Structure 1
Amino acid sequence: MAPVSHTSGNWWDRWIVYYMSAFILWLAKLMGNSYGWAIIVFTVIVRVILLPLNAISIRSTTKMQSIQPQINELRKKYPGRDTESISLLQQETNKLYKEAGVNPYAGCLPLIIQLPVMYALYGAILRTPQLQTGRFLWMDLSKPDPYFIMPILAMAFTFLSTYISQLSTPASSQNGMTKIMTYGMSIMVGVMALQFQSAITLYWVISNLFQAVQTFILQNPLKYKREQEAKAEAERERKRKLRRTYKRLGRKQK
Structure 2
Amino acid sequence: MSYIRQFLTFLLNTTDKYVGNFGVSIIIVTILIKIMLLPLTLKQDKSMKEMKKLQPELEKIKEKYANDKQMLNIKTMELYKEHKVNPLGGCLPLLLQLPILFALFGVLRNGIIPKDSSFLWLKLSVPDQFYILPVLNGAVSFLQQKLMGSADSNPQMKNMMYIFPIMMIMFSLKMPSGLQLYWLTSSILAVVQQYFIMKKGA
Fold match by TM threshold 0.5: yes
Match for residue 157 of structure 1 among 140, 148, 170 = 140
Q: Cα distance, 1:53 vs. partner?
A: 0.8
CA contact 2:12–2:25 (8 Å) conserved in 1: yes
Q: Does 1:141 align with 2:124?
A: yes
Match for residue 64 of structure 2 among 77, 90, 93 = 77
- Identify the structure with bigger relative contact order (alpha carbons < 8 Å, sequence gap 6+): 2
Q: Does 1:18 align with 2:3?
A: no
Question: In the TM superposition, what whole-angstrom CA distance separates every residue of 1:112-161 from its partner, at most 9, and x where no partner exists?
Answer: 23432233224323445553432211222222222221122222222222
Q: Percent identity?
A: 31
Alignment of 1:69-218 (within 5 A): 69-80=56-67, 85-128=68-111, 130-166=113-149, 174-218=153-197
- Normalised by the size of structure 1, how large is the TM-score? 0.70
Question: In the TM superposition, what whole-angstrom CA distance separates every residue of 1:193-239 from its partner, at most 9, and x where no partner exists?
Answer: 22322222211111111111111111128x74xxxxxxxxxxxxxxx
Q: Which has the larger radius of gyration?
A: 1
- Normalised by the size of structure 2, how large is the TM-score? 0.85
Instruction: Tell me which residue corresponds to 2:17.
Output: 29
The change in CA–CA distance for 1:20 and 1:76 in structure 2 (over 3 A counts) is same
CA contact 1:97–1:103 (8 Å) conserved in 2: yes
Rounded Cα–Cα distance in structure 2 between residues aligned with 1:129 and 1:52: 29
Q: Cα distance, 1:52 vs. partner?
A: 0.8
CA contact 2:109–2:176 (8 Å) conserved in 1: no
Structure with the higher fraction of residues in helix conformation = 1
Q: Which runs of 4+ in 1 moved over 6 A?
A: none
The change in CA–CA distance for 1:148 and 1:63 in structure 2 (over 3 A counts) is same
- How many residue pairs are counted as aligned between the two chains? 201
Any stretches of 5+ residues in structure 1 without a counterpart? 1-11, 225-254
- CA-based RMSD of the aligned residues comes to 2.4
Alignment of 1:54-69 (within 5 A): 54-69=41-56
Rounded Cα–Cα distance in structure 2 between residues aligned with 1:133 and 1:105: 45
Any stretches of 5+ residues in structure 2 without a counterpart? none
